[in-house]
Chain A
Amino acid sequence: MEWLYVLMPIAGVEIFWPGLIILGVGVGVIGGFFGMGGAWMVTPGLNILGFPMAFAIGTDIAHMAGKSLIATMRHGKFGNVDYKLGCVMIVGTVVGFEVGAQMIMWFERLGKVELYVRYMYLVLLALIAWMVFADVAKKRRKEAEAKAAGGEVDKLATGIEWHKTFHKIKIPPMMHFKEAQITCSMWLPIVISFLTGWLAGILGIGGGLIRMPALIYFMGCPTHVAVGTDLFEVMISGLYGAGTYTYKGRTELVAAAIMLVGASMGAQVGTVATKYIKGYGIRIAFGLAVIGCFLSIVLKLIAKAYKLPMFDHMSTALVLGLVAVMSGYIFLKMLAGAKKEVAAKKGRA
């Protein structure tokens, strides 16, 4: 069974390559579907496969750049990417990320910062999950009320409508974002991207997990456009991150390439699945993923606080289980949708 292992030229360790492909497929499907890089899922997976941690972040970012590129291209074809909005947001993201990173270095001198950052991450994840499910509940309430009145809710209606308040701010210059169907002050996406970038910088994460819901609830993007535009941002930051980490000698390209074989194909599956799942379906699945991430951090905190490595293993198992279940669900939904589409095509012919 030696052929199932490949020697990593730089790291000098033998890795079970089918494991890399399976992990790549899983995170690729989820990434293409939710519009995020998914570093919080990849790192425990690489760890399990025996990957040296010195190379984990760089390798993860490198594969993320490749898969988000192809997923952005596909989302773009579906009209899910607002490139103009993405370009405006890059400015805020870069500046915000840097401010956050510098702040965290300043806080580090005060000590115990890591613990506070984890707590902050938990609060943020809880807020995102609350926002998603409060929105879903409100939308359902609206639908029930409309049904009781004998009518129907507008197809474009949403539950939470905070973005409408933000759109009333008319500080010039005003901009129209065609794909997102939004006209607002240019400062709105800049401020939102600055804040999400700042949080990502403080938490030391890529930011897709925060940016996607921010695009929906604060900018007012339709879910599919939020996913596509977020992937565009992930692609740019991923390519840049891959360059800098590789320059530092922290990328194992062979591992990234093997993962990418699965991830780029998985990302296409995840992207196409968005064709068949309504916006609110994506929001609910995203909310569940956020809860999974929340629980994995809670387990890690318990493991650290009480020195119980078992909880660390449970956290890893939870994340990998979540990847398997979520990607399986998305894949099945995509298959069902494709089957229906092909049958409809045949029926028309």
Chain B
Amino acid sequence: MRKLWAKIASFGVMILLLLPELALAAGPKAAPLVIVADTRKFTGWEAWWTNLYNESHLYFALLTIAIIPTIGVLFGVVADLIMSHIGIDLKSRELAEH
């Protein structure tokens, strides 16, 4: 049984390693052009952001992956607070039918 789990785990790790290649091959192909952001128009955080985009797409992607869920959760929680303030029960659902 342990061997089986080890095999399943190693298969899972393999999928995770291969997944980027598989997914990059999927979907509509992006045109082979290099986009460079014009940093001259910006100052402060916007200049830093455009510079990051030009210098490393990897860091840019990692930061995006961190920022997107954070914003989603943040504003989702704000909506939650408003709805629970109104008096809506956000923990259960009574309807139980197809």
Contact = CB atoms under 8 A, between A and B. Distances in A.
- Which of B68, B73, B75, B88 has the most A CB atoms < 10 Å from its CB? B68
Interface string B21-53: 011111110110011011001100010011001
Contact of B19 (A94, A102, A224, A274): A94
Contacts of A250: 30, 35
A242 B64 contact: yes
A77 B91 contact: yes
Contacts of A19: none
A345 to B, nearest CB: 6
Contacts of B49: 9, 253-254
B76 A7 contact: no
Interface string A54-81: 1001000011011101110110011110
A78 B92 contact: yes
B42 A9 contact: yes
A108 B34 CA distance: 24
Contacts of A155: 96-97
A240 B19 contact: yes
A274 B75 contact: no
Contacts of A229: none
B28 A204 contact: yes
A37 B37 CA distance: 28
A79 B72 CA distance: 21
Q: How large is the interface on A (under 10, 10 to 19, 20 to 34, 35 or more residues)?
A: 35 or more
Given A222-B97, A256-B68, A272-B83, A244 B37 contact: no
A315 interface: no
A341 B28 contact: no
A300 B15 CA distance: 38
Interface stretch (A118-126, A258-266, A305-313, A325-333): A258-266
B76 A268 contact: yes
Interface residues of B, number: 55
Contact of B50 (A9, A79, A240, A278): A9
Given A70-B76, A155-B97, A156-B98, A65 B69 contact: yes
Given A243-B61, A272-B83, A274-B93, A98 B71 contact: no
A23 interface: no
A185 interface: no
A12 interface: yes
Interface string B67-91: 1110111111111100100111111
Contacts of A65: 68-69, 72
- Which of B27, B49, B73, B96 has the most A CB atoms < 10 Å from its CB? B27
A224 B95 contact: yes
A249 B53 contact: yes
Contact of A54 (B35, B67, B92, B94): B35
A90 to B, nearest CB: 10
B31 A57 contact: no
B57 A79 contact: no
Contacts of B64: 62, 242-243, 246, 251, 253, 256
A261 B78 CA distance: 10
A9 B46 contact: yes
B38 to A, nearest CB: 5
A275 B37 contact: no
A248 interface: yes
A241 B60 CA distance: 14
Interface string A217-258: 000001110000000000000011111101111110110110
Contacts of B97: 155-156, 222, 278-279
Closest 7 CB pairs of A and B: A66-B72, A70-B76, A101-B26, A268-B79, A246-B61, A264-B75, A265-B79
22 contacts: A9-B53, A10-B37, A54-B35, A66-B71, A66-B73, A73-B76, A74-B80, A77-B92, A98-B25, A102-B25, A222-B98, A240-B23, A249-B60, A256-B64, A260-B75, A264-B73, A264-B74, A268-B80, A269-B79, A275-B93, A338-B88, A341-B87
Given A201-B26, A243-B65, A246-B65, 11 more contacts: A10-B53, A62-B68, A74-B80, A101-B25, A224-B93, A257-B68, A260-B72, A261-B71, A263-B72, A268-B76, A272-B83
